[in-house]
Chains A and B, each alone.
Chain A
């Protein structure tokens, strides 16, 4: 079998594969450090168990949002029967999300930046001023 322009084609393929795989071998062995959100909380437990909050806090917040805005509810009864007010960042209430997780930069942003998600909560809701 005869291959026309074999040299060019083979070199081309090698260059192409090298370029495509560049990010993989360039970053080999250098995994980005996993995020370490700091828990600066007063309470010992969140509204639901930690594993559930880790995986599903966004779903919970969506449910809260719909319940608050559309049904006018303000209290959430958690799976262990405790009542929490459904508040993201109300400074006059101590039991809002941000009342406990008081430093957004050291908690929320840690994981959100790592996985590259940009929740638009704070486009409208007002981020509480961080206490120094």
Chain B
């Protein structure tokens, strides 16, 4: 007697499963995922941070070195219209930079002191929380970055940021007035942005990865900007923070800024 019907069906079923094994294996084996690596000279940190010594800025009234260096390095145009201006790093009067830490009878020099302000690269950044496309995100090393490819220009982040650190491109930056931006784009190795995208300071992520310091830090002749790793007790920022009284902007909001000020 040959194979019983029952056994035949069993064997047939198992054989069918076997036929399906190869395609299933292919799906799970897949193509090898592409491999990536960090740049070789990249600077790494647990938490990047900056200390700004505003006393040195006071001594050099009207100095714009850091601002110009940053805006040149990142192709930030002068749009010539304060309502549409684009800024990554700029100055604010003391009372505007620290609205809860001023009073009527402030020291005379402090009152009119220009304070360098930029993105605070917060511990708990409200801009990241509100971004609907995750175009703004926080990196492991604390840098709050933007992926301009993903930005849809909704400007939620601008509403969320309590420091006004974000600017919207109302027009194409490449069409900014030529007389104010004669050699725009100033850095051919950094992209410009397009119309309808929000932009902000990136803590010079592209320079850190090449082993350089941020453009503003490098440009400051007075060494008023100190950059380093908060996670390393021997870093420049930690040393300065240990030896000076420092304040942060709007600490009560709980955003945890990584920019510290010596006043």
Cα(A85)–Cα(B209), bound, Å:
12
Max chain B CB contacts within 10 Å: which of A72, A85, A120?
A72
Whether the pair A76, B189 counts as a contact (CB closer than 8 A) is: no
Whether the pair B137, A85 counts as a contact (CB closer than 8 A) is: no
Asked if A74 meets B191 with Cβ closer than 8 Å, knowing A69-B145, A85-B39, the reply is: no
Q: Interface residues of B toward A: which range?
A: 20 to 34
Residues of B within 8 A of A89 (CB): 188-189
Q: Which of A79, A124, A128 contacts B188 (CB 8 A)?
A: A128
A:69-99 near B, CB below 8 Å: 69-77, 79, 83, 85-86, 89-92
CB distance from A111 to the nearest CB of B (A): 22
Grouping DSSP codes into helix (H, G, I), strand (E, B) and loop, the B interface class, with mixed when no group exceeds half, is: loop
B172 to chain A: closest residue by CB: A123
Number of A-B contacts (CB under 8 A): 66
Residue-by-residue, is A47-69 near B (CB-CB < 8 Å gives 1, otherwise 0)?
Answer: 00000000000001001010101
B:179-193 near A, CB below 8 Å: 185, 188-193
CB distance from B125 to the nearest CB of A (A): 16
Cα(A123)–Cα(B75), bound, Å:
13
| A126 CB-CB contact with B under 8 Å | yes
Q: Interface residues of A toward B: which range?
A: 20 to 34
Asked if A71 meets B193 with Cβ closer than 8 Å, knowing A65-B149, A126-B188, the reply is: no
Minimum-distance CB pairs A-B, first 9? A74-B39, A73-B36, A77-B35, A124-B191, A75-B37, A67-B36, A125-B191, A126-B188, A69-B147
A interface list, Cβ under 8 A from B: 60, 63, 65, 67, 69-77, 79, 83, 85-86, 89-92, 120, 123-126, 128-129
